[in-house]
Homo-oligomer: A and B are copies of this chain.
Amino acid sequence: MDAEIIAVGSEMLTPHRQDTNSLYLTEKLNDLGVEVRFKCIVGDSRDDLTAAAKLAMKRSDIILFSGGLGPTEDDLTREAVADALGLELQRDPEIVVKLEQRFAKRGMKMSANNSKQADVLTSADVLQNPAGTAPGQWISGKYDGQERILILLPGPPNELKAVFEGECISRLRERIPVQHIASRMLRIALMPESQVDARVAPIYKTYADVQTTILAGAGEIQLHLRTRNESQAAAEARVEELADKIEDELGDAIFSRKGESLEQIVSYLLQMRSMTLAVAESCTGGLLAQRITSLSGSSRYFLGGAIAYSNALKTQFANVPKALIDRHGAVSREVAEALAEGIRKRCVSSYGIGITGVAGPTGGTEQKPIGLVYVALAGEEGTQVVERNFPGDRKRIRWFASQQALEMVRRALL
């Protein structure tokens, strides 16, 4: 079965806002064995919405609308779907009472426009919305001889999730033939896409029943494997087998097999070995620490460190001798090494990381061009330093540098 997602709202036709609900919905639909074949974004125009709904009824089995269910004049999804399907809207007195109660609870009187949210399409099931005022709606039936399911969902992401999880998944399961789907997401840091593909394409091409997608991000390649089979065990075995073969080829370049992030993997490894980490960041300016501490519980293995942005602070917080900076420059192998060793000593951590580089767009020279980054990792066994020339803009160079640092910790812990 194929689905179509129609995101409703003029704000998503501006340069400032994007539809993100469809990513969540796609994931949930894929889990049920439903593929998303079209996504559309339509503004708050009744005619445009009606046309989009009519078109979707022709080409898609399941049509999901997100947004346009609120109380304002701009909220027109109900009306447009009624137009497209030739249905009536009827105000549901039970929903009106619930809306009034919701407002009363907060000591507010409900303004009249809110009643609009109680307008229900004839033949629709009301989908409870525990997180907000506008309920969702579910309509299924034959249109032009084809079985169709229409789902109207509220736009705010937390409400959409609450309604979809509470009311839609079980309903969809009843109507969709049981399917057994297994997937894996292999992630690889700091390897060019072409290189990964050249090595793994000969392997995955022999698995015609496993859909394999390669996605390249900043400093990372993702391999998405996905298959269906007559049983869950068979599906799992099939993706596992392919994942094994790919791992045989790429070895420990693969940092994760179930989609975990690099910071998550580093977290597992540090905790497993009861080791700790501290950082001294210059050009990344806190990005590495921010990534590490984005995980709850990171205080178990991450002590902290210094943002040694100025040279004085490299000395002050990470014991980098001023003379060393004067001799080699702040962006140098020697200073990276001293930052890593200094911060490790100061923080009394198992590992210390030092990063220094030219993130640009200014400050590059012929000898030390933009993108030149030194990353050092100091541990009990000694210190290693890597010199890299990262491509891209400031944001990308900084990201690459943090990725390099995490990858070095991971490899040291293997």
Contacts and interface: CB of A to CB of B under 8 A. Distances in A.
Which 8 residue pairs of A and B lie closest in terms of their CB atoms, listed nearest first?
A285-B293, A286-B289, A286-B286, A304-B309, A15-B27, A286-B290, A39-B41, A304-B307
Nearest to A226: B14
Contacts of A13: 26, 35-39
Interface stretch (A114-122, A139-147, A295-303): A295-303
Interface string A272-294: 00000001010011111110111
A221 interface: no
A17 interface: yes
B317 A309 contact: no
Q: Copy number of this protein in the oligomer?
A: 2
Contacts of A346: 316
Contacts of A285: 289-290, 292-294, 298, 302, 304
Contact of A309 (B35, B296, B303, B362): B303
A310 B37 CA distance: 49
B310 A307 contact: no
A394 B294 contact: yes
A16 B309 contact: no
A306 B309 contact: no
A159 to B, nearest CB: 14
A307 B289 contact: yes
B24 A15 contact: yes
30 contacts: A10-B213, A11-B213, A13-B26, A13-B35, A13-B37, A14-B26, A14-B30, A15-B23, A15-B30, A18-B20, A37-B48, A39-B40, A284-B290, A285-B289, A285-B290, A285-B304, A286-B289, A287-B293, A290-B290, A293-B307, A294-B395, A296-B360, A296-B363, A298-B309, A302-B309, A304-B306, A304-B308, A304-B309, A305-B307, A312-B348
B296 A361 contact: yes
Nearest to A10: B213
Nearest to A297: B362
A331 interface: no
Contacts of A302: 285, 309
A89 interface: no
B16 A224 contact: yes
Interface residues of A, number: 74
A97 interface: no
Contacts of A27: 15
A285 B289 CA distance: 6
A307 B307 contact: yes
A297 to B, nearest CB: 7
A203 interface: no
Most buried by B among A20, A36, A48, A346: A36
A306 B317 contact: yes
A213 B17 CA distance: 11
A81 interface: no
